Amino acid sequence: MSGNQILSVDRLSMRFGGIVAVNDLSFDAERRKITALIGPNGAGKTTVFNCITGFYKPTSGAIGLTHDDGQAIRLERLNDFRIAKLAKVARTFQNIRLFPGMTALENLMVAQHNALMRASGLTFLGLIGAPSWRNAEQAAIDLARTWLDRIGLLDRADDAAGNLPYGDQRRLEIARAMCTQPALLCLDEPAAGLNARESAALSELLLSIRADQGTSILLIEHDMSVVMEISDHIVVMDHGVKIAEGTPREIRDDPKVIAAYLGADEEEAIAVMESGA
Ligand SMILES: Nc1ncnc2c1ncn2[C@@H]1O[C@H](COP(=O)(O)OP(=O)(O)OP(=O)(O)O)[C@@H](O)[C@H]1O
């Protein structure tokens, strides 16, 4: 870690009645890097996302986000709307949540609703067609079209989002999140259900977002080919706790991680590794 963190999760815990979904978890995500949060089913990954994005109020712990200009924001004190607006954290969900009856372009325009409402003077300037509103609307259309182009869907701008192939819908969701111009992009299993070609396109898109926009990315993903290829840093959870963190190479060779995925203990995992299985 370079000390240039955008996100700092400090001793986060989340309980649901008797279930401890996240237990005293601490990790950092570095600015302009891709950090992956991995672990077996039920490890607590989505719960961490829900705490970061304000869908859950953590039982205890702190979640700090620091903008480029040094402004520090405590996310656990804000609701989801303010986290999106003030902290500029955007997310996607495990299940696609596009507006299926709206066009691809319209889905990207909706994402810019807050900026457009401000420019419209809360609709008045929009109603009279003021130049400031028209400029803002054109800028929103341009941004939406830029992202459609980036994901290879410009020629399908006017098609209903629900009619697009599954892999295209996944990329459209990411484009929609990017239209909010986030500082931190949180993606919950973006490769779920994708074939090998679509997964490769996704990896390419995420690497280009990191390189071109300088956006910091936090990624939950079960597809290890994607995780190992694009992550700068990996945090591994099991049963609500962090069991390892490091580079893809360090994580790949960690017996604790292999044991967690096999549902075995560490010694069995070492035996599996040594057997070359
Ligand atoms: N709202 C909730 N109420 C009760 N229990 C919950 C709630 N949300 C999550 N849990 C429990 O917390 C634990 C962690 O769940 P979580 O969905 O965070 O895991 P995950 O690592 O994201 O799993 P997966 O990879 O399967 O999506 C599970 O035991 C789950 O049943």
Ligand 1 pocket test, candidate residues 9, 13, 16, most atoms within 8 A of CB? 16
Domain boundary among 126, 154, 181: 181
| CA 118 / ligand 1 centre spacing (Å) | 37
Cβ atoms 114, 83 nearer than 8 A: no
Ligand 1 contacts CB of residue 45 (under 6 A): yes
Q: What is the pLDDT of residues 239-276, one digit of tens each?
A: 999 999 999 999 988 888 888 887 666 666 666 666 65
Ligand 1 contacts CB of residue 275 (under 6 A): no
Q: What is the pLDDT of residues 205-236, one digit of tens each?
A: 999 999 998 999 999 999 999 999 999 999 99
Helix (H, G, I), strand (E, B) or coil at 186: strand
Strands (E), the chain: 5-16, 19-30, 34-38, 60-66, 72-74, 89-91, 184-188, 216-220, 233-238, 241-246
Same domain, 145 and 188: no
Rank 105-119, 128-142, 143-157 by mean pLDDT and report only the highest. 143-157
Per the structure, the complete domain to which residue 106 belongs is given by 102-181
pLDDT of residue 138: 85
Ligand 1 contacts CB of residue 21 (under 6 A): yes
pLDDT of residue 275: 63
pLDDT surpassing 60 at residue 126: no
pLDDT band at 163 (very low <50, low <70, confident <90, very high): very high
Beta strands at 184-188 and 89-91: parallel, antiparallel or unpaired:
parallel
Same domain, 174 and 46: no
pLDDT of residue 27: 98
Ligand 1 contacts CB of residue 44 (under 6 A): yes
| ipTM for this model | 0.97
pLDDT surpassing 60 at residue 69: yes
Ligand 1 contacts CB of residue 47 (under 6 A): yes
Same domain, 56 and 188: yes
Domain boundary among 162, 181, 200: 181
CATH number at residue 197: 3.40.50.300
pLDDT band at 139 (very low <50, low <70, confident <90, very high): confident
